[in-house]
Structure 1
Amino acid sequence: MYFNDSVMDDENRASFPESFLTGSAFKVIDGLPDIDTESHFASHPVGKGFPQSVASGDPTSSGMMLWTRVDPSLEAGVSDTEIDGEGFHWLKKPHDKNDSSSAEIIDQGKTVMFQVSTSPDFSFVDVSGFSPIWKDHDHVVRIDLDGMLHPNETYYYRFITKGGLMSKVGRCRTLPPEGSDCSAATIGYVSCQDYTSGYFNALAHLADEQLDFFLHLGDYVYEAAGDASYQTGMEARKITLPSGEDKAFTLEDYRHLYNVYRTDPDLQKLHEKHAMVATWDDHEFANDTYAPAVAPDDSLEPDPERRHSANSAWLEYMPSRVYVPSRSSSSDALKLYRSMTIGDLATLYVTDERAYRDAHPCGERELERYFTGGCENIHSPDRSMLGREQKEWFLGELKNSNSLWNIWGNQVQLTQLKFLGRYINLDAWDGFAHERQTIAQTVMNEGVQNFIALTGDFHSFEASYLQEDYSRDGYKFGVELMVGSVTSSNLNEMVQKNLNNLFDHTTPLPRNATLEIFRTFLPDALSESIVPTKFLFKELQNAIKIENPWIELFDSTSHGYALLELSKSRAVWTACAVDSIKENQAPKSVLLQCEIPNGEVAINVKEKNSFFG
């Protein structure tokens, strides 16, 4: 969470009690309460009172973050002032004297009871207790059970209110202990899910996969909702912000975005079935944002109050175990960067590529950020995307890794991407070439094995080689596996919409850059005698692959998700595409698939069902 001195004052920090930030505000009770759940809740439909259903996240070998939100019109909540600075206490042993204020809060119905079980019917409850409904934080519930569960185990969980409302049942799985023998793991991952652009069919299919957890690489929500240029004409998917503005600027606006997104049944299904590991990209705050809290499409002046609002809503709605530094910390940002280890098989490193990054290297106009010849500043050693502390952490984690596979949860394109000699996107790692080179040198010099970057943001499926330098004979040291968008417009849709004068700010490139590409590539495409769009895009995609030979697989015509299946012998990447995002429910198919053998920097293609190749 970005805070500078003008925002992170005592009053604002007090608005986030330590027990809320850590998820530690709960009491644990031994065994089930004296209640017949079957008869007591028979009169209430399961899920009533929990409009955003349930979610879990940040699994460890001994715990999990649990999350829900309670309808404020049906149940009360507890204010921050009612929870003391040390949290919400209750002793485990029934005969010990408990804190009377906690008992009063429970009796007043300001908490939920949670139950966690290895049995889907809750015939035996492993852990149960009470946790506050945080009235001052949009009535959410946050619980961190790290240290209370068993490793490598599937758990089921649910929430119950004093008034007898019961949530749906969520499912999650803890990880094997660090260093323990682990033969296989599967990670699903997604990015860029604009609610107004279409239905989340991809998420429903991802929910049906056998996963250890799923990774969300950012753009979980889009800040622009009311602007007609963001809308698709789908009445059922329109969003009106409380402020009436086209974009979110206030805490109420950002909360409303998460509130609406989380009512989507496909997104709910995914959260109910699997734990999530999340980071953010730009649209959780504003397009192409950089530090300190600058939204360049709106103003080049920092807006820390807006950034605080955006990040507060993210923290409230995400079941994530992240660190909020004290005022005495040398950093002023919510620390999303973290790692999690899956036995001896893999370590996932999740970074934050927005809160610390410098401004764009060549200027803030659209054609200085996109489809540009670049400038010397791209290679400046003084520029950083990760920031000093995060970069030192990341490089240190890589140097000390003992895992067979080293997986980077990376938001924006890592490999170089040029077209007609120009950089396509300096909002990605091409704008931070020196720091990218530093990471490459660390991986190579330290002998970091099986290095794979999982990437989102560009609304395209792509399998590419990471190289020491991006020449045709550059040394290969790893692999980048990019996932397409859930709903946000891909390059093919960008071409169609721009050539038909339809505005859509969810496209991966802005309109001015798209038009400039075609003025340069195929000038006749903008004339009266326009060539067929399908042919035009095929030519564009083929040209991109020719100019960037490190790209092995590329498709920007589809929406979907990706899977990374890890074993001791190989990693298998599968890109899955849905047939449509304009209809509620659509079949899926395998679009692309490749294999990376253990100990080799190789992309062995197994499936290539993209029309464009």
Structure 2
Amino acid sequence: MYFNDSVREDENRAPFPECFLTGSAFRVVNGSSDIETKAYYATQPAGEGFPQSVASGDPTSSGMMIWTRVDPSLEAGASDIEIGGGGFEWPNKPHDKNNSSFADLIDQGKTVMFQVSTHPNFSFVELSGFSPVWKDHDHVVRMDLDGLLHPNETYYYRFITRSGLVSKAGRCRTLPPEGSDCPAATIGYVSCQDYTSGYFNALAHLADEQMDFFLHLGDYIYEAAGEASYQTGLEARQITLPSGEDKAFTLEDYRHLYNVYRTDPDLQKLHENHAMVATWDDHEFANDAYAPAVAPDDSLEPDLKRRHSANSAWLEYMPSRVYVPSRSSSSNALKLYRSMTIGDLATLYITDERAYRDAHPCGEQELERYFTDGCENIHSPDRSMLGREQKDWFLGELKNSSSLWNIWANQVQITQLKFLGRYINLDAWDGFAHERQAIAQTVMNKGIQNFIVLTGDFHSFEASYLQEDYSRDGHKFGVELMVGSVTSSNLNEMVQKNLNNLFDHTSPLPQNATLEIFRTFLPDALSKRIIPTEFLFKELQNAIKIENPWIELFDSTSHGYALLELSKSRAVWTAYAVESIEEKQASKSLLLQCEIPNGEAAINVKEKNSLFG
């Protein structure tokens, strides 16, 4: 069955066979199989023919998604019609008998053999089989091995073509069974990785960490990719889109962005070493996007074709488990929101805060979205970021949780953030205060303990208290832990670039809002250029902390990643910063660290090495 039959005739909207979306288009081979496997063996150096390497994602206690892409100049692949419409159905169990059509795909070299082993040298293969190379979907391979592997086990996987190409080996780990005793777990997380702004050396360091998986909280790509003269990124990292535009609008544009990003050696290393759990934010489509498919910086009219192109590329390149509705008119209806459990230790809730959200509350001009007095519409009960169905699901999951820790993979800042009495960012949860309060009331009224929110988006490291109301004596009921960006500009860089009249598409605040902050806070910084940038930023950062006392730790000078280490007695949050993003290799250092004791909404600071503290 095709997903989105209504746009099947539009070649730029890439309808998906359901077996592609579910990752079910593969066949496991065992010793008694009638399928010939001897023709698939490695004869080439590992990695040749697989320019985007490999990736895994969404681990469970019995499997995970695995992914690769085969060079289309070396392997033809199979069309959707051949794979999903060739007169046969993919079996409910991937080792069931199938008809001759599948064997024909294998004989023609339109598939890859996958191998899964507990040994890095594949001396013994626990699981093997075949999956098609999806010609109509940028030659990716995508499959879901859930139900086929054992819990609490480290696995290695690779792909082999009939022509002898073999991928690098990927490594991933299955989770403990739901409800089973789990003494500890470690989750890494990142967000906001603009390729043109710098090198992904933070991801290389994250790849070396010992962790169960990593979270990507969004802005995996940036849709803006103009010329070096227009941006402030590194010249060696510039991207030219197939359309020739400065922003991605077509399926080919979005595919090209993922194609280029995934050639980065540091991003490849991270994917090869660890499974990813991902959601999207706005830049996978367009800045500050909201439903239905509106990109307010470009047009206030919905652009369903562009949104579908962006979603299609995301689905093709992300090893993520999505839930497919039986009937739908747009890939926006795919459910990215989901939960996963780690034994009895934790439940992770992954939400989608773009596909269902309402427009900004006070208007779509930059100074109506950023550094604004706000409006009554912020508190309207008719407005939603999550949408009714996702909100009901999320609150229901929280109420029914029996896990020790409840972790929310959230994209945009949930704690209130004001400066000089104005809201800094109404694209975040400050623009949806009524729904934020409904979440807070559920957590407090149901006595949900150990509620931790992991956040990205604002390009800053931050540890803050979740409060019933954001006043100096507001009741605390949880903790928000924000990770800084991998490369996208932080507030310190925003100050420097704006004082030098440099445009930056990755800044956490738009240029007009930044200039208005300067005019209001320290007007001489603009009119006379007499205030040193370092002093200006120190004053700005300190003023933010004073006006928002629920912020315990704050740093917007660094790039890096964060780890959350969970145990039965505490959660430990550690933020690491890299020395530079302008060099391919850079050392890392411990930036911030705090501890959240079991049963307490408390932030006990252990390390604070921020430049401006």
TM over 0.5: yes
Q: Distance in 1 between matches of 2:231 and 2:9?
A: 38
| 2:203 maps to 1:194 | no
Change beyond 3 A, Cα 1:262–1:10: closer
Q: Map 1:273-288 to 2 at 5 A.
A: 273-288=273-288
Change beyond 3 A, Cα 1:573–1:550: same
Pair 1:298-2:295 in alignment: no
Partner of 2:147: 147
Structure 1 length-normalised TM:
0.96
Closer/same/farther in 2, CA of residues 534 and 92 from structure 1, 3 Å limit: closer
Asked if the contact 1:225–1:247 (Cα under 8 Å) also holds between the matched residues in 2, the reply is yes
Q: Is the 8 A contact 1:8 1:327 kept in 2?
A: no
Give the equivalent residue in structure 2 for 1:446. Answer: 446
1:430 is matched with: 430
1:338-487 correspondence runs (5 A) = 338-487=338-487
Could you tell me how far apart the structure 1 residues matched to 2:284 and 2:331 are? 21
Q: CA deviation at 1:226?
A: 1.8
Code of the residue aligned with 1:41 in structure 2: it is A
In 2, Cα distance between equivalents of 1:584 and 1:250: 30
- 1:222-249 CA-to-partner distances (Å, cap 9, x unmatched) read 0010255763352320100000011000
CA displacement, residues 464-484 of structure 1 (integer Å, 9 cap, x when unaligned): 000000011000000000000
Q: Distance between the aligned counterparts of 2:493 and 2:84, measured in 1?
A: 52
Aligned partners of 2:92, 2:311: CA distance in 1, in Å?
30
CA contact (8 A) 2:576 2:592 kept: yes
User: 1:24-173 residue pairs with structure 2 within 5 A?
Assistant: 24-31=24-31, 35=38, 41-42=42-43, 44-84=44-84, 87-88=89-90, 98-173=98-173
Q: In the alignment, what sits opposite 1:594?
A: 594
Q: Check 1:14–1:374 CA distance in 2 against 1; reply closer, same or farther (3 A cut).
A: closer
Q: Select between 12-21 and 159-168 the one with higher mean Cα deviation.
A: 12-21
Q: Look up the match of 1:245.
A: 245
Query: How many Å separate the matches in 1 of 2:134 and 2:51?
Result: 16
Shift of 1:11: 9.2
Post-superposition Cα deviations, 1:491-524, rounded to whole Å, max 9, x if no partner, equal 0000000001011010000000000001000011
Determine the structure 2 residue equivalent to 1:572.
572
Deviation at 1:88, TM superposition (A): 3.9
Percent sequence identity is 86
Structure 1 residue 90 displacement after superposition: 10
Q: Report the 3-state secondary structure (helix = DSSP H, G, I; strand = E; otherwise coil) of the residue aligned with 1:58.
A: strand
Question: Which residue identity does 1:387 align to in structure 2?
Answer: G
Deviations 1:284-303 (A, max 9, x none): 00000000000000000000
Deviation (angstroms), 1:389: 0.2
Instruction: Say if 1:4 and 1:332, in contact at 8 Å, map to a contact too.
Output: no
The whole-number CA distance in structure 2 between the counterparts of 1:293 and 1:343 is: 37
User: By how many angstroms is 1:97 displaced?
Assistant: 6.3
Q: Distance in 2 between matches of 1:12 and 1:192?
A: 27
TM-score for the superposition, normalised by structure 2: 0.96
Shift of 1:87: 4.2
In the TM superposition, residue 611 of structure 1 has moved relative to its aligned partner by 1.4
Range that drifts further, 555-564 or 98-107: 98-107
User: 2:316 is paired with a residue of what secondary structure?
Assistant: helix
User: Conserved in 1, the CA contact under 8 Å of 2:361 and 2:377?
Assistant: yes
Q: Distance in 2 between matches of 1:508 and 1:14?
A: 32
Deviation at 1:18, TM superposition (A): 1.1
Q: Which position in structure 2 is the counterpart of 1:232? A: 232
User: Which amino acid in structure 1 is aligned with residue 575 of structure 2?
Assistant: A
Root mean square deviation, CA, Å = 2.1
Q: Which residue of 1 aligns with 2:501?
A: 501
Output the CA distance in 1 between the equivalents of 2:302 and 2:97.
Answer: 51
Alignment: residue pair count? 606
Q: For the residues of structure 1 that align with 2:328 and 2:24, how far apart are their CA atoms?
A: 22
Task: Return the alpha-carbon distance in structure 2 between the equivalents of residues 249 and 461 of structure 1.
Answer: 31
CA contact (8 A) 2:152 2:173 kept: yes
Using the alignment, how far apart are the partners of 1:36 and 1:161 within structure 2? Answer: 9
Q: Quick one: distance in 1 between partners of 2:499 and 2:358?
A: 33
2:541 is matched with which residue? 541
Contact kept, 8 Å, 2:340 with 2:349, in 1: the verdict is yes
**Cα distance in 2 for residues equivalent to 1:5 and 1:391:** 28
**Which secondary structure state, in structure 1, belongs to the residue aligned with residue 563 of structure 2?**
strand
CA contact (8 A) 1:241 1:253 kept: yes
Distance 2:348 2:230 in 1: 33
**1:542 to 1:310, Cα distance in 2 relative to 1, 3 A:** same
**Residue 453 (structure 1) shift:** 0.2
- Provide the rounded CA distance (Å) in 2 between the counterparts of 1:117 and 1:102: 24
- Residues 4 and 512 of structure 1, relative CA distance in 2, 3 Å threshold: farther
- The 5-angstrom pairing of residues 320-335 of structure 1 reads 320-327=320-327, 333-335=333-335
Pairwise CA distance, 1:331: 10
1:469 to 1:331, Cα distance in 2 relative to 1, 3 A: farther
Alignment CA distance shift 1:8-1:399 (3 Å): farther
